Amino acid sequence: MKKENSDRHFEEAKRCIPGGVNSPVRAFLSVHDRPFYVKRAKGSYLYDADGNTFLDYVASWGAIILGHADEGLIAAVTGALHEGTSYGACHPYEIELARLIVGTFPSMESMRLTTSGTEAAMSALRLARGCTGKNGVIKFRGCYHGHADSLLVKAGSGLATFGIPDSAGVPADLAKHTRVAEFNNLDSVAGIMDESDDIACVIIEPVMGNMGVILPEEGFLKGLESMCRQRGILLIFDEVITGFRVAFGGAQHIYGIDPDLTCLGKIIGGGFPIGAFGGKKKFMDRLAPIGDVYQAGTLSGNPVAVRAGLYVLSFLKENGHVYDRMRETAGRLADQVTRIAARYGVAYHINSMTGMFTGFFSDRDVTGYEAAAASDRGLYERFFKGMLEEGIFFAPSQFEASFITLTSGDAEIQKTINACEKVFRDLGTAQ
């Protein structure tokens, strides 16, 4: 595989961009490699600066669901561009998008657009604190909600620990208000709630996507909802990844949960930078300019991103069968690859839901942070590099989700299966 041009770009980037990248995961450090540079994308494929073609399972980290450079989306965006790129003023399309989203999520009686998922989570957190008059936040180890200070913490050795900064520059006095519980472990949540009466909210990815895909066990989300209701603690669902990805209506629709606040992103902008948060009107009406919780965004509701989102969400609404198709495609791929791994004696386990999945190099079910963290990262690195040589691009980290798009057809699945046959054979032989 040629990499001369990408390597040259990377050296140039390192001279003017920290680490050469605008987001750390793009540096490929966890797989001890160097990034390739994309020249263009179409359908299920990326084309890089050296003429390599990659079947793409990263899909802009889930933001692309129709496939790259969808013709209908391009037409919608082109029309929007001719009418201006940014207004700094209200426009009717943001009402259309809000009405579509509110009509899809029963838990969201009102919502506000942001420019990113990080901004949505940060704003939802501030709103929860403002509505409850409390400071504490419970998050779950392995769930990522953007890099806002209050959420950029890690757990200590116990199940219910105070958060400690996971980054330089995060004040310990702020991070200490964030407590860390264990996904799929209600006792860890109850322990924190019993210890403190200063908990404003619980924030959670209902289906984990930032430690790899980890599904909630039966009764976990319902139990969490019940505990929050009983104690007057707001429940925030971070559906930045899962919203409109796992179902039209997100994971809360699948599991029958009624969160107080919901964060959205990625797909609602059709690949453009956007986010949103919303919930019960009694909470959302606390936001400025009508309430006392300040939140603002100069480019929130950008008309190009909104028009893109309207096109994608309208398509998904009118073609609900595509979720069944993605579910079947991901299931077929998971079944075939799992069989291949077993045939060559490689411990491998796939978690999947609709169009998102993660393969863990593990000999046990992965239901939480510890099981995920115990996966064999060395095997994943070899898998990643082997698949890349075969023209298949998975995330450059064991702890990320992979995504199916609507352009992932029989040819793409067979190409992936053929590559897995070769790579897993090599992994099994080397053990």
Q: Which residue, among 96, 126, 125, 129, has the nearest Cα to 113 in the 3D structure?
A: 96
Q: Strands 53-56 and 392-393, how do they pair?
A: parallel
CATH code of domain 71-318? 3.40.640.10
The Cα–Cα gap between 28 and 197 comes to 42
Please name the fold of domain 4-69+321-430: Aspartate Aminotransferase, domain 1 (3.90.1150)
pLDDT of residue 166: 67
Q: What is the pLDDT of residues 266-303, one digit of tens each?
A: 899 988 999 999 999 999 999 999 999 999 999 999 99
pLDDT-based confidence at residue 159 (cuts at 50, 70, 90): very low
pLDDT at 197 over 70: yes
Q: Strands 349-353 and 356-360, how do they pair?
A: antiparallel
The residues annotated with a catalytic role in the active site are 144, 238, 266
Amino acid in position 133: G
Task: Name the helix (H) or strand (E) containing 162.
Answer: strand 161-162
Burial of 258 (0-12, 13-18, 19+ CB in 10 A): middle
pLDDT at 163 over 50: no
The structure's pTM equals: 0.95
Q: What is the pLDDT of residues 224-239, one digit of tens each?
A: 999 999 999 999 999 9
pLDDT of residue 161: 38
Q: What is the pLDDT of residues 110-150, one digit of tens each?
A: 999 999 999 999 999 999 999 999 999 999 998 989 888 77
With tokens 């909630």, the residue in question is 216
Q: What is the pLDDT of residues 105-116, one digit of tens each?
A: 999 999 999 999
Phi, psi of 224 (to 5 degrees): -65, -45
Q: What is the mean pLDDT of residues 152-180?
A: 64
pLDDT of residue 160: 36
The Cα–Cα gap between 391 and 304 comes to 32
Q: What is the pLDDT of residues 326-366, one digit of tens each?
A: 999 999 999 999 999 999 999 999 999 998 999 999 999 99
pLDDT of residue 154: 53
Residues 6+ apart with CB under 8 A from 241: 61, 62, 205, 207, 209, 210, 265, 266, 356, 401
Q: What is the mean pLDDT of residues 184-212?
A: 96
Listed by start position, the domains of the chain span 4-69+321-430, 71-318
The Cα–Cα gap between 62 and 74 comes to 18
Q: Do 4-69+321-430 and 71-318 show the same overall fold?
A: no
pLDDT-based confidence at residue 156 (cuts at 50, 70, 90): very low
Q: What is the mean pLDDT of residues 381-394?
A: 98
DSSP string of 93-113, one letter each residue = HHHHHHHHHHHH-TT-SEEEE
